[in-house]
């Protein structure tokens, strides 16, 4: 009898390990796959030009990224140094603006893949726990904002290596310097990254207040915040942009971002899976995830084919808030499981019991199905977005290289973006349409495509004039169009 119980226990532990191993393998595979897809798809469809990216790309092409915009967000210097500055230097060295824009796109969208590689190298936890959670975070969060060049994209990419390095860097001068510079790099990506940096220190605090890694990371965060504050004080934004920055900050945590088609679709998918899983587990407990998954795939297919008319486009910008809210939570879970994997005591017995339940066979089995369904939703929504973006770019290029004109916009060489049909024009980002027009016309547009509803104007007349008068690789006639547009509004 005792032997039977022993064998039963051994089989349970083997099954538990099997479910956990399957989930971990799946998470790593999907996270790595997304990081590669981001790069390949972004470069093929030129997603570095989407929304604000059109302005950033144009600034790279005319070699004026700092003067055009980044001096207004100097506390996000990491993004400038890691993506835009190298691309601008490339343009200066080669005289090839269009290739410089591609360099910018590569550096921006390679960030998740590079992040996972660095996290893998830095993670010394038993079973690569932090790396696994980094892959999970990449798979679950990044597709929501993929395509929009928000600085939170880079913040997420820097968070996971910074977490692993803070946990496992050697306790010497080199290790301490590495912790400081990774946390500093994270802090200088976006104001929301301050939450992510604090989460790293909190995760280390779970190891105990006397843990040397916690104390080191805490001091590094204080030093990084000092640098961040100094940059904010020494290099304040222009008055025009300061107002826009304040408005954006006030709406950063607007709950309205969750009242969107993609959020409702994900919520319905997850709730449907939970309800279906609980129902099927009473009938076919060992196949509940398969039956529920099959039913939901059918339901999703019907929705996409018969009911869906949405494209997750402009809301990709607003979903940067999701990264600020959920990346720290995943980091905290990674830290807790890393503590457990390393054989250290958790802060409380209840926490240990909670982690044990999260690794139970039924939970891991359910998570496998949920992860696959969410991935399916992201894959379809991403495909819809990039295909619509490609069509929109072509429409803008046709206007920019055509002969249609709307002189009422301020110049005979201007044409209204309202000539594009509403089925495509919902992918527009009204403040950056003129810059997109110049780029998609291979830097020699016949017309500057202008959105008459634009209410924010990136360039002052003075800045645009200085760039027009400078020696640049972009034709002066194109830069003159941008100068005229800027001088009409600022």
Q: Tens of pLDDT along 69-84? A: 999 999 999 999 999 9
pLDDT score of 242: 83
Q: Among candidates 373, 187, 221, which has minimal Cα distance to 297?
A: 373
pLDDT score of 258: 82
Rounded Cα–Cα distance for residues 276 and 289 (Å): 8
Tell me the average pLDDT across 135-145. 98
Tell me the average pLDDT across 428-444. 97
Rounded Cα–Cα distance for residues 401 and 390 (Å): 17
Residue 243 has pLDDT above 90, yes or no: no
Rounded Cα–Cα distance for residues 122 and 417 (Å): 48
Rounded Cα–Cα distance for residues 111 and 158 (Å): 8
pLDDT score of 15: 46
Alpha helix (H) residue ranges in 70-141: 77-79, 85-94, 97-109, 111-122, 129-140
User: How would residue 363 be classed by pLDDT, with cut points 50, 70 and 90?
Assistant: confident
pLDDT, tens digit (0-9, with 9 covering 90-100), for 313-328: 999 999 999 999 999 9
C-alpha of 385 from chain center = 15
Tokens of 247: 């408005």
Residue 16 has pLDDT above 50, yes or no: no
Least confident among 169-183, 243-257, 364-378, 451-465: 243-257
Pairing of strands 448-450, 414-416: parallel
Tell me the average pLDDT across 454-472. 96
Rounded Cα–Cα distance for residues 100 and 78 (Å): 19
| 207 vs 303: which has the higher pLDDT | 303
Residue 375 has pLDDT above 60, yes or no: yes
Rounded Cα–Cα distance for residues 80 and 108 (Å): 10
Residue 5 has pLDDT above 60, yes or no: no
Tell me the average pLDDT across 359-363. 82
Q: Which residues contact 290 (CB under 8 A, 6 or more apart)?
A: 369
pLDDT, tens digit (0-9, with 9 covering 90-100), for 387-415: 999 999 999 999 999 999 999 999 999 99
Rounded Cα–Cα distance for residues 152 and 156 (Å): 6
Tell me the average pLDDT across 35-48. 98
Handedness of CA 149, 153, 154, 155 (dihedral sign): positive
pLDDT, tens digit (0-9, with 9 covering 90-100), for 145-201: 999 999 999 999 999 999 999 999 999 999 999 999 999 999 999 999 999 999 999
Residue pointed to by tokens 């025009």: 240
| 119 vs 19: which has the higher pLDDT | 119
Rounded Cα–Cα distance for residues 483 and 458 (Å): 11
User: How would residue 252 be classed by pLDDT, with cut points 50, 70 and 90?
Assistant: confident
pLDDT score of 215: 96
Residue 7 has pLDDT above 70, yes or no: no
DSSP 8-state class, residue 238: P
Q: Residue 147: left if φ>0, alpha if ψ -120 to 50, beta else—which one? A: left
Residue 24 has pLDDT above 90, yes or no: yes
C-alpha of 45 from chain center = 17
pLDDT score of 231: 97
Residue 8 has pLDDT above 50, yes or no: no
pTM of the model: 0.94
Residue 12 has pLDDT above 50, yes or no: no
pLDDT score of 10: 43
Rounded Cα–Cα distance for residues 417 and 327 (Å): 37
Q: Among candidates 401, 455, 449, 402, which has minimal Cα distance to 424?
A: 449
- Identify whether the C-beta of residue 41 lies closer than 8 Å to the C-beta of residue 119: no
User: How would residue 447 be classed by pLDDT, with cut points 50, 70 and 90?
Assistant: very high
Residue 6 has pLDDT above 70, yes or no: no
Residue 223 has pLDDT above 80, yes or no: yes
Rounded Cα–Cα distance for residues 366 and 353 (Å): 19
- Identify whether the C-beta of residue 284 lies closer than 8 Å to the C-beta of residue 291: yes
Residue 359 has pLDDT above 90, yes or no: no
User: How would residue 17 be classed by pLDDT, with cut points 50, 70 and 90?
Assistant: low
């Amino acid at each position: 009898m005792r032997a039977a119980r022993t064998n039963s226990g051994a089989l349970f532990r083997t099954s538990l390990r099997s479910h956990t191993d399957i989930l971990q393998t799946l998470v790593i595979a999907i996270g790595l796959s997304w990081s590669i897809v981001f790069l390949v798809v972004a470069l093929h469809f030129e997603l570095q030009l989407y929304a604000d990216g059109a302005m950033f790309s144009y600034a790279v092409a005319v070699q004026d990224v700092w003067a055009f915009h980044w001096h207004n967000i100097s506390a996000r210097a990491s993004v400038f140094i890691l993506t835009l500055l190298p691309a601008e230097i490339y343009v200066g060295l080669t005289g090839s603006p269009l290739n410089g824009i591609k360099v910018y796109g590569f550096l921006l969208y390679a960030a998740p893949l590079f992040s996972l590689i660095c996290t893998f190298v830095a993670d010394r936890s038993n079973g690569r726990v932090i790396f696994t959670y980094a892959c999970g975070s990449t798979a679950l969060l990044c597709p929501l904002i993929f395509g929009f060049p928000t600085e939170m994209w880079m913040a997420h990419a820097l968070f996971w290596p910074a977490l692993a390095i803070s946990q496992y860097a050697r306790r010497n001068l080199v290790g301490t310097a590495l912790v400081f510079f990774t946390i500093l790099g994270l802090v200088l990506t976006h104001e929301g990254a301050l939450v992510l940096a604090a989460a790293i220190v909190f995760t280390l605090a779970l190891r105990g207040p006397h843990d040397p890694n916690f104390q080191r990371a805490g001091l590094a965060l204080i030093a990084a915040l000092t640098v961040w504050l100094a940059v904010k004080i020494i290099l304040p934004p222009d008055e025009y942009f300061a107002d826009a920055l304040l408005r954006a900050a006030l709406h950063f945590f607007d709950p309205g971002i969750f009242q969107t088609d993609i959020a409702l679709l994900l919520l319905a998918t997850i709730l449907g899976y939970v309800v279906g899983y609980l129902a099927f587990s009473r009938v076919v407990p060992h196949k509940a995830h398969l039956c529920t998954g099959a039913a939901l795939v059918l339901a999703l297919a019907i929705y996409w084919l018969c009911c869906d008319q949405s494209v997750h486009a402009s809301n990709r910008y607003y979903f940067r808030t999701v990264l600020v809210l959920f990346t720290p939570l995943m980091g905290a879970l990674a830290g807790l499981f890393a503590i457990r994997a390393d054989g250290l005591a958790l802060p409380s017995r209840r926490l240990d019991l909670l982690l044990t339940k999260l690794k139970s066979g039924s939970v891991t089995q359910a998570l496998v199905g949920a992860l696959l369904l969410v991935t399916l939703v992201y894959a379809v929504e991403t495909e819809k977005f990039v295909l619509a973006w490609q069509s929109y770019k072509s429409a803008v290029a046709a206007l920019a290289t055509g002969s249609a004109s709307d002189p009422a916009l301020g110049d005979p060489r201007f044409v209204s973006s309202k000539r594009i049909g509403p089925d495509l024009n919902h992918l527009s980002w009204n403040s950056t349409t003129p810059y997109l027009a110049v780029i998609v016309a291979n830097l020699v547009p016949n017309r500057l495509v202008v959105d008459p509803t634009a209410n924010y104007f990136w360039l002052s007349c003075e800045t645009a004039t200085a760039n027009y008068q400078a020696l640049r690789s972009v034709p002066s006639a194109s830069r003159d169009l941008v100068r005229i547009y800027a001088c009409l509004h600022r």
